[in-house]
Copies of this chain bind each other. A is one copy, B any other.
Amino acid sequence: MSEYTRRFLVHWNDCDPAGIVFHANFIRWMDEGFTDMSRARGVDFVRLARTEPRFRGAPLVDVRCAFRAPARFGDMLEHRVAPPEFGSGRAFRLTHRFLLPDGTLAAEGEQTRIWGMSVDDVLCAVPMPPEIAARLGGPADG
């Protein structure tokens, strides 16, 4: 599967007195983008939580973001989320890019998440179910 793309407008309250997006908003947008990508690909966290009460979502364990060019009030940003990458452990990684209207890279970031399950009231990282991984664009055998 390919990148997921969404577009949204930079609003007044997203920007700081320098007239540019305050950086923490990109961190928030990465979170929203993962939710939107999941939803668009048939992975609905609300429904998952209802059908499996021990499911605890996909908690973030690490995030980073590099800021390349300022985004401003009124810019229509293009947000591209790459499908999750799985490593040797149980965490998975999502990379995000935010493009300005002229294609310039405004910011690029990376989230490390786990698939969370409550085991004896303790949050544990469990392997992401293969059918979920397949939907999100993971292993081809999903």
Contact = CB atoms under 8 A, between A and B. Distances in A.
A131 interface: no
A90 to B, nearest CB: 16
How many monomers of this protein are in the complex? 4
Nearest to A63: B65
A5 interface: no
B62 A62 contact: no
A72 B22 CA distance: 16
Given A46-B73, A46-B74, A60 B23 contact: yes
Contacts of A28: 13, 24
A80 to B, nearest CB: 18
Contact of A13 (B31, B36, B39): B31
Interface string A9-51: 1011101111100111101100110011001000011100000
8 smallest CB-CB distances across A and B, nearest first, come from: A64-B64, A46-B74, A24-B27, A17-B19, A24-B28, A62-B66, A13-B22, A11-B32
